Structure 1
C-alpha cells in the first residue's frame, strides 16, 4: 500500500467512527420505560400460552383473545378483567394420532387458535390447528358467555396444520380468504377463498415457492372507479425467488392480489384464480447486498380520502445474520395497483443449462389483459365473469403470474431504520397535533417484548419512547389498536398487555414535554402539566417538528438539598437524566466540575469518595439536550454539601428509656424468664438429672482412690474396648462398676484370656435383668 494511502486511511478512521456514532441507525428512543414503570394492564392464565390471535369487538366492548386450547372474552377497557372463556381442547385419541405421525404430543399435538373473525350476523368464525388436523367452528357471545356451536367445519386450507407456521386470513363479505398450507407436510401452499365458490392458487413454484405468509387486506377499488373495476384482496408474503440466477436460495418479499369477483376459468384454471398476480416488494436498507424480508404490514387509510391515498406500512428484517438492522417502509396503494394494471410481465425462458431463466416478456399481451378484473371494457366484449375469459388469457396468467417491475417505497427509502432487537409487528395511528397537522405514529413490536413509538417528521426518524410490556423478553406476536378506547393491545406467548396510545404523564416539566415531540401531548400552562391533546379544550404548548422548547415559560428554580458528609467519607449525589438524548453536566460553585479519582461521574449521579474540606460547596446537575432548533439546558438537581471534620464529630449513644410501658413490659418478661429458669434447675436437681455439687466432690474422691488401686495391678494389663450390649426392653439403665461374679453381665469383672493375659474391661452401662439386684 502506498504510504500516503495508508496515512489517509488512519486519518479518516476517526471521522468514520464519528459518523457511525452520529448515524441515525444508532438512534435511541428519547425515553426508555422499564417494565415496572409502564403500568400496563395484563392478562395471563396459568397453564395457558400462545396468546397470539386477537379480535377487537368494539361493538361489544370486548377483546376476544385466542390462545392454546382456549378463547377469552376480555374487557376492552381493562383486559385484566376476564368476562368469559371457553375451552377447545383436543381429545386423547387426536393427540395419540398426532403423536403417531411424529409430532410432539406436548407442544404440537394441541389446539392453537389461529383464526378469529367477525361474521355479518355478529357470530365469530374461529379455527384451530387441532393436533395437526385443523378444524373451524362458530362462536357466540351472549349473556356474558362464550359458546362454541359445535358445528365442526373442515379447516384444511383455512387454518395451518403446524401451529408455528406463518399464515394470513381476512373475512370479506362473509367470505374467508386464507393463505396457508393444504396438507400435513406443509408442502402445498395455497391462497384460497372458501365460499361461495371455493377457489385457490395453482400448486406451481411459479405461483408460490416455499412461501412464508405475512398478512392480507382488502381494498374497495370498485368505489368510484371509472373503469368499473372490482374490489381486490392483497396478500403479503416472502418466498424463495424463482427469477434469481444464484447458487443459494434467495428470499424476496412479495405482494400478490386477486379480484373478489373471480370465479375461475371454464376449462383452463378451473376453480383456480384467474386474477392472481404478484410483484417483488423492495425496501432498500443502505447498500445491503441481500434484500430484506417482510415480517408484517398495516393498512392505513384516511376515511376522508380516496382509496388510492391509502398506505401500506411494512416492517423488514435481514435474511442474513450479518446485520441487526430493522426497517419500516411505506407504500402507496396506487403505486402497487399501477404495477399490476400497467406493468410488464416476467416469463420463463429455457437456457442451455438445466435451469430456467426469467426475463421480461416483450411479446404480445392477450386481450382482455391477463390478471385483470372484469371491467367495463371486458363487459362490452361480452365477458361478464371470469368463466367467460378466453383460454389464451388464462394460459398466459397460468404460466406468467410474476410482474417484472418491483414496487418501491415512498421516496425510495425507509421511514425508519434502527439497529437492535428485530421488529416483529406494526400498527399505525393518526393523530392531529396542536399545529393542526396530522401525523402517523408508528407503534412497533420487537422480539424482546418492547414497543417503539416513532414518527417520521419530514424525513427525520424520531423514536419518542420504547416501552417494555413484559417482565421477561417475550416476542410481540400480535398488535391491535382501538380509537374507541385509545388503547394498544399486544399478545405474546406469555400473555396479553394493554397500554394507552398517549402517556403524557411521564413528562414532568414543560421543556421535557416539548422535547419529547409527542404529537399526542402538550403542556398546559394553567394546570402546569403535560396532558393529552384530546383531553384539553385549551391551547397547549407543543413543537413536534422542531422541539422548540424556548416557547415554554420560565421554570421554577430548583430548591437546593442540604447534604453533609464526614471527612474521608463517601457520598452519592443523585441526578437521573430526563432522557436518553440528554447529556448530564455538573457544576460546583458555578464552575464546571472536572471528574477525578475522587469525583466520579455516574449515569445517574455523582460519587464523592474520601471527602475532604475542599469538596464542600454548591453542586448543580444540569441536563443538556439538542433538538432540531438549538441546545437546551435545564437544572435537574442542586445540592449544598457541607464537610464535617473529625474534631466536630460526636458519637452520641441514645440513653436507655427508663420509663414507659415498653420498658416495664420488658422488665416483667425478664423476671418471668428468671423464675422459670430457677424452677427448671430445682426440678432437675430433685430428679437427679443434674448432680449436686457436694455429690460431685465425693464421687471424684472415690474415683481417685480406685484409680490408685488400678495402678497397682500388673503393668502387662491390656485394655480392650468393652463390647456394646444389646439394649433390653423395659429395663432400667444404671451406671456403675459391678464387682460381682455374675457372668451374665459383660463389663464389671476381670476376664482372663487363654494366654494367661489379664484383660480388664472399662466400666460401661449395664442392664439389670433381675429386680433383686437393685
Structure 2
C-alpha cells in the first residue's frame, strides 16, 4: 500500500505535464498598454455612434466608415482627418411609424449603416436599417465629396431590420449575398443572393434554425479547376441544433456554402438554393462541456499557394456564463470542402409521434450528388445548370442539408486560449521574420476595447501585447487591414481607431526587444534601437521562436540614483516591471532583500518604513524573465540610499520636514482664530439670555458664585491657551497638506526635501500625490 501511492503519483505526473503543455489556459500578454492618445489615430464625431461598417478604398486612399445616420470618407493614412461625409437620416414620419411599432425612438428608430460594398463601376452600394424599414442606395466619391444618389432601393433581405441583430454580406461580381432576417419580427432568416436572379434558403428549421450570422466570404474554387467546379460562397453562423437529443436548446457553430452559379430548381426548390449544405464546426477547449460558439472568422490565403491551402481563422466564446475563456481555431479550406464533397448526410427519422431524431443517412445517394455544384461530370450528363437537376436530387437536398461529419480544427485543438475579456473580431497578417520563415500574426479585438497581438510558435501560444484602443471599454465590432498602408483599422460604438502592425520603439533595450518575440521587430546594433524589420537594411537581432536574448550585446550599466531619508521616515523605491512575464527582486549591497514589517515588497517597488541607519546601502531592482532559450536577468533600477542626520535639511524621504512658516500654517491659524471668535460669541449670547450667570450679579451665595466664576474663567483661559497653542500642535498635519500643493510648483521629486516621522499620517502610494 505504501508503494502504490508513489507509483500512482509517478504515473499521473506525465499526464499532468501533457495537459499543462497542451492547454495553457492562463496565457497572458507579455506587455499591456493602457489607453493613451498616442496608441492610435482616433476618429469620433460628436453625437454619432456605432462605427461598425468599413470599406477600404485603397485606390482612392480612403477608408469609408459607416456609422449611425452617417458615412465618412477618412484619410487612409490618418483616419483622424475627415475628408468628406454624408448624412443619411430618417424622416420624422419614419420615426413616428417606427415608434408606433413598439420600437425605441432614441436607439432603434435610427438609420444604422450596415452594408457598404464597392461595385464594379467604382461606386459604393450602401444599405441602412432606416428605422426598421431597410433601404439601400448608391454612393460615389468625387472632387472631395461623398454623394448619395437617393435611388431608394428596397433593402428587405439585404439589410437587417433590427440594428442590433448579427448579419453577414459580401459583394461578388456586383451580386450581393446577404444573411439576415427578411421580416420585421426577425423570425424569417435567409441566406439570399439579390441579383441577377433572387435566390434564397427555405423557411425550414432544418435549413436555418434561430441562426446568429457571423461572416461570409468567397472562395475561387472554380479557378483553373480540373473538374470544372464552381466558385463557392461560405457562410459562418451559429444556430440551435436540430440534431441534438437534449431537453434544453443547445447552440452549435456552423459553416454553410452555396455555389455562385446556382439558379435554383425548375420545379422543386424554385428560386431556392440547390447547393445549400451546412456542417458543424468544433473548437474543442479542455474544460468546456458545451460547444463553444463562433463569433468571427478571417480568410487567410497566401497569394503564392493554391486555394486549398487557404485557412479560416475563427474565434469562439463559451455559451455558458460559467466560463470566461475565448479561443482561436484554424481550419483548412480543403478539409471543409472535402466534408461537403465526400461526407455523409444526416437525415431526420420520426420517433414515436412528435419527436424527430437526426441520424447518419446510409441509403443510396442520388446522382448528381445533392448539394454539389455543376461540374464537368454533370455537363456530360447534359446538366449544364441547376435548373436541369432532377427532382430526386433536389428533394434529397431539400430534406437533408446537414452533413453528418463535424469539421475539426488543425491539430484538433485551438491555436490560442485566453482567460478574460471575450474575443469579438480577428484578422491575420503574415510577415517574414529575420530567420527567413513566415509567421501568421493574429490581431484580436475584445469586448473591453483592447486588441491582442498573438502568434502560435510551433504549438506554443504567445501573446506579444495587449493595447487599449479606446478610452471607454467599448467592444470592438470590426477589424480590417490595409496592405497599402500596413495599418489596422478598428471600429466600436464610440469611434474608430488606426494602429500600426507594430510599435517597436516601445522596447528600449535589446533584451526587451528580443524577449518580445515580435516578428515585425528586431534590435539594430548600429542605431541601438528596436526597429521595424522592413525599415532596416541591416541584419537585426531577433529570436521569435525561442526568445534568445543572449544574442544581445552587453547592456550599458544603469546609473544609480541617490535617495536619502530622515530617521524613522518612509521611502519608496520605484521599480516598474518591464513585462507581465517577468518577476522583480531586490538586492541590497549584493544580498537579496527579504520582505519584513519594515521592508515591504510591492508590485512596482520597495517600501522602507521607519528607517534606521541599518537601511543605508545600494539597492538594485532586478527583472528575471524566462523564455524557451533560458533565464535572463536585467537591472531595472539602481538606488544609493542614505539616512540623513536629523536637522541636516537635505533628506529626500517621502515625508518632508514640517514647515513652520508656510502658507498652510497661516491658513490653519486663521481657521483656529475664527473658531475662537465664534466660541466667544456663543458665550456672550448665553450670558445675555441668562443661561450663564454674570460675574457681577452677587447673591447670598457669594462664595459659591465666586467659585463658579473662577471655574468658568479658568475653563475659558484654558480654552484660549489651547487655541493659541493649536497651530504648533497641528503643524505636522499642515505640512502633510502642503505636500500635495507644493508638487505643482517644483520640478524635482517630492523626496528631495527633508521629512519628519508622523505616525498619524498614512503612506501615500503615488509619490506625485505627496
TM-score (norm: length of structure 2): 0.82
Aligned twin of 1:433: 433
Aligned twin of 1:292: 292
Per the TM alignment, residue 484 of structure 1 is displaced from its structure 2 partner at its CA by 1.1
**Aligned-partner Cα distance in 2 for 1:614–1:137:** 79
Aligned twin of 2:320: 320
Structure 2 SS opposite 1:26: coil
**Aligned-partner Cα distance in 1 for 2:82–2:593:** 56
**Aligned-partner Cα distance in 2 for 1:22–1:206:** 36
Aligned twin of 1:410: 410
- The range that moved more, 261-270 or 599-608, is 599-608
Per the TM alignment, residue 602 of structure 1 is displaced from its structure 2 partner at its CA by 1.2
Aligned twin of 2:39: 39
Describe the shift of the 1:559–1:395 C-alpha distance in structure 2 as closer, same or farther (beyond 3 A). same
After TM superposition, the structure 1 = structure 2 runs for residues 144-543 of structure 1, keeping only pairs within 5 Å, are 144-543=144-543
Structure 2 SS opposite 1:59: coil
Per the TM alignment, residue 648 of structure 1 is displaced from its structure 2 partner at its CA by 4.2
Describe the shift of the 1:566–1:221 C-alpha distance in structure 2 as closer, same or farther (beyond 3 A). same
Per the TM alignment, residue 315 of structure 1 is displaced from its structure 2 partner at its CA by 0.2
Aligned twin of 2:570: 570
After TM superposition, the structure 1 = structure 2 runs for residues 2-21 of structure 1, keeping only pairs within 5 Å, are none
Describe the shift of the 1:382–1:40 C-alpha distance in structure 2 as closer, same or farther (beyond 3 A). same
- Pair 1:594-2:594 in alignment: yes
Which structure is larger by alpha-carbon Rg, 1 or 2? 1
Given that 2:644 and 2:650 are in contact with CA atoms closer than 8 Å, whether structure 1 keeps it comes out as: no
Describe the shift of the 1:23–1:384 C-alpha distance in structure 2 as closer, same or farther (beyond 3 A). closer
Deviation string 1:393-433 (CA, Å, 9 cap, x unpaired) is 00000000000000000010000001100000000000100
**Aligned-partner Cα distance in 2 for 1:561–1:640:** 6
Per the TM alignment, residue 601 of structure 1 is displaced from its structure 2 partner at its CA by 1.0
Aligned twin of 1:30: 30
Given that 1:170 and 1:216 are in contact with CA atoms closer than 8 Å, whether structure 2 keeps it comes out as: yes
After TM superposition, the structure 1 = structure 2 runs for residues 126-141 of structure 1, keeping only pairs within 5 Å, are 126-141=126-141
Per the TM alignment, residue 320 of structure 1 is displaced from its structure 2 partner at its CA by 0.7
**Aligned-partner Cα distance in 1 for 2:658–2:374:** 97
Per the TM alignment, residue 18 of structure 1 is displaced from its structure 2 partner at its CA by 14
**Aligned-partner Cα distance in 2 for 1:462–1:623:** 20
Per the TM alignment, residue 644 of structure 1 is displaced from its structure 2 partner at its CA by 1.2
**Aligned-partner Cα distance in 2 for 1:23–1:310:** 25
Per the TM alignment, residue 597 of structure 1 is displaced from its structure 2 partner at its CA by 1.2
Structure 2 SS opposite 1:397: helix
Backbone CA RMSD of aligned residues: 2.2
Aligned twin of 1:624: 624
**Aligned-partner Cα distance in 2 for 1:266–1:653:** 96
**Aligned-partner Cα distance in 1 for 2:366–2:500:** 53
Per the TM alignment, residue 654 of structure 1 is displaced from its structure 2 partner at its CA by 12
Given that 1:595 and 1:601 are in contact with CA atoms closer than 8 Å, whether structure 2 keeps it comes out as: yes
Describe the shift of the 1:577–1:193 C-alpha distance in structure 2 as closer, same or farther (beyond 3 A). same
**Aligned-partner Cα distance in 2 for 1:158–1:98:** 19
Describe the shift of the 1:362–1:589 C-alpha distance in structure 2 as closer, same or farther (beyond 3 A). same
Deviation string 1:226-254 (CA, Å, 9 cap, x unpaired) is 11000000000000000011100000000
Deviation string 1:8-36 (CA, Å, 9 cap, x unpaired) is 99xx99x9999989972112100001102
Given that 1:587 and 1:593 are in contact with CA atoms closer than 8 Å, whether structure 2 keeps it comes out as: yes
Given that 1:38 and 1:468 are in contact with CA atoms closer than 8 Å, whether structure 2 keeps it comes out as: no
Aligned twin of 1:582: 582
Structure 1 SS opposite 2:29: coil
Aligned twin of 1:639: 639
| TM superposition outliers: structure 1 runs of 4+ over 4 Å | 15-23, 647-656
Describe the shift of the 1:650–1:589 C-alpha distance in structure 2 as closer, same or farther (beyond 3 A). closer
**Aligned-partner Cα distance in 2 for 1:228–1:638:** 71
Structure 2 SS opposite 1:280: strand
**Aligned-partner Cα distance in 1 for 2:93–2:646:** 82
**Aligned-partner Cα distance in 2 for 1:242–1:203:** 14
**Residue segments in structure 1 that go unaligned for 5+ positions in a row:** 657-774
TM-score (norm: length of structure 1): 0.82
Structure 2 SS opposite 1:646: coil
**What is the aligned length?**
649
Structure 2 SS opposite 1:431: strand
Describe the shift of the 1:18–1:375 C-alpha distance in structure 2 as closer, same or farther (beyond 3 A). closer
After TM superposition, the structure 1 = structure 2 runs for residues 654-733 of structure 1, keeping only pairs within 5 Å, are none
Deviation string 1:639-659 (CA, Å, 9 cap, x unpaired) is 111111226458999999xxx
Deviation string 1:482-526 (CA, Å, 9 cap, x unpaired) is 121111111000111111101101100000000000000000000
Per the TM alignment, residue 224 of structure 1 is displaced from its structure 2 partner at its CA by 2.0
Aligned twin of 1:551: 551
Given that 1:38 and 1:467 are in contact with CA atoms closer than 8 Å, whether structure 2 keeps it comes out as: no
**Aligned-partner Cα distance in 1 for 2:381–2:313:** 38
**Aligned-partner Cα distance in 1 for 2:23–2:339:** 34
Structure 2 SS opposite 1:30: strand
Aligned twin of 1:560: 560
